[in-house]
Amino acid sequence: EVRAQRAASHGPGRTADGHPVALLANIGSARDLIADVEGVGLFRTELLYLDHTDPPGEQEQVAAYTAVFSALPGRKVVVRTLDAGADKPLPFLRLADEPNPALGVRGLRVSRRAPEVLSTQLSAIATAAAATDAEVWVMAPMVATASEAAEFAAACRAHGLPTTGVMIEIPAAALRAPSILRDVDFLSLGTNDLSQYTFAADRMCGDLADLLDPWQPALIALIAACATAGAEAGKPVGVCGESAADPDFALVLAGLGISSLSMAPRSIPAVRESLAAHTLEECRQIAKAALAADTPEAARAAVRSATPR
């Protein structure tokens, strides 16, 4: 009993029967790191570029990446390449005025116009990775097609970065997950944007919060499809959107076969505790109930009744 309690408050994420579900941190810089974290599942690199009238130089980037990597020897750090545009506009890119920035040249699409931004970043990540012992994975935001994923993976390999993945934030990419997984090593589901694009509901629009609810059946179905594709390919599929921080939803994700959950560091303890209180089989039953529900309310109720506390 005491040991179970200790496992619930410290150490790696595990279900009650010991099935590992990595609990990783979302960070924007080395300052966000906390002690004893299993690793970083989303290193947002935009911070480096904000307030810059010119893109940050390669050396400046190497220093910022090294600060994070060197704090996590032997641990996984998933670096997301620049996710500019839309809600994260960058002055130096001076992208044409777009009537619909969320549907415009953002994320990986920026490299259509400014390929040097990505190549400089990959080069800096590779230099920092080579100088430290962190296990560095790289992923691209806002990928829509398998061709984009393949091109990104090739660019990473050309820079000596072997472990590459993509974020699944666009329904088209979720639907093509099996094909995308032929070219990359892992997927990370950005459920914030995946909700936005699935429901055509601006993620900043409070009036549409019900549509942006991660318990929506359509979102759960897309997550399940990606998890199944990962299991079939034998490749990890994680979640790094806000939904991973919901202790009940984390059970659904684990039951669907999601292998890592990445969230704001302060959310990790409650999710760890929730996982530690349920076996993998219980999580699978919970996921089945959530998948069968027709409304978010029904999904929540089904999970609540399966998790007495």
Residue nearest to ligand PEP (CB): 190
Distance between start and end Cα atoms, the chain: 16
Query: How many CA atoms within 13 Å lie on the side-chain side of 269?
Result: 8
Residue 285 C-beta: closest distance to ligand PEP, Å: 27
Q: Which positions from 15 through 44 interact with ligand PEP, judged by CB under 6 A? A: 42, 44
- Nearest-CA neighbor of 168 among 126, 88, 213, 108? 108
Tell me the one-letter amino acid at 189: L
Burial 149-166 (b: 16+ CB within 10 A, else e): bbbbbebbeebebebbbb
CA 277 to mean position of chain CA atoms: 24
- Which region, judged by CB under 6 A, interacts with ligand PEP, from 14-22, 67-75, 92-100, 186-194? 186-194
Residue 108 C-beta: closest distance to ligand PEP, Å: 13
Identify whether the C-beta of residue 107 lies closer than 8 Å to the C-beta of residue 140.
yes
Binding partner at 183 among ligand PEP, Mg ion, none, C-beta below 5 to 8 Å by kind: none
Residue 192 C-beta: closest distance to Mg ion, Å: 5
- Which C-beta is closer to ligand PEP: that of 252 or that of 306? 252
- Nearest-CA neighbor of 15 among 308, 258, 217? 258
Phi then psi dihedrals of residue 23, to 5 deg: -110, 110
- Which C-beta is closer to ligand PEP: that of 179 or that of 192? 192
Give the residue, chosen from 13, 41, 55, 190, that forms a contact with ligand PEP under the rule CB under 6 A: 190
Give the residue, chosen from 55, 85, 190, 238, that forms a contact with Mg ion under the rule CB under 5 A: 190
Phi then psi dihedrals of residue 196, to 5 deg: -55, -45
| 193 forms part of the interface with Mg ion (CB under 5 A) | yes
Phi then psi dihedrals of residue 206, to 5 deg: -60, -30
Residue 242 C-beta: closest distance to ligand PEP, Å: 7
CA 50 to mean position of chain CA atoms: 21
Q: Which positions from 195 through 254 interact with ligand PEP, judged by CB under 6 A? A: 240-241
Binding partner at 44 among ligand PEP, Mg ion, none, C-beta below 5 to 8 Å by kind: ligand PEP
Give the residue, chosen from 148, 169, 183, 185, that forms a contact with ligand PEP under the rule CB under 6 A: 169
Residue nearest to Mg ion (CB): 193
Residue 141 C-beta: closest distance to Mg ion, Å: 6
Contacts of 174 (CB under 8 A, 6+ apart): 168, 189, 194, 222, 223, 225, 226
Residue 142 C-beta: closest distance to ligand PEP, Å: 8
Count Cβ atoms within 10 A of the Cβ of residue 70 and give its class: 0-12 exposed, 13-18 middle, 19 or more buried: middle
Tell me the one-letter amino acid at 246: D
Residue 25 C-beta: closest distance to Mg ion, Å: 16
Tell me the one-letter amino acid at 265: P
Q: Which positions from 67 through 96 interact with ligand PEP, judged by CB under 6 A? A: 83
- Ramachandran area for residue 107 (φ above 0: left; ψ -120 to 50: alpha; else beta): left
- Which region, judged by CB under 5 A, interacts with Mg ion, from 4-12, 147-155, 183-191, 219-227? 183-191
Write out the residues near Mg ion by the rule CB under 5 A. 169, 190, 193
Write out the residues near ligand PEP by the rule CB under 6 A. 42, 44, 83, 169, 190-193, 240-241
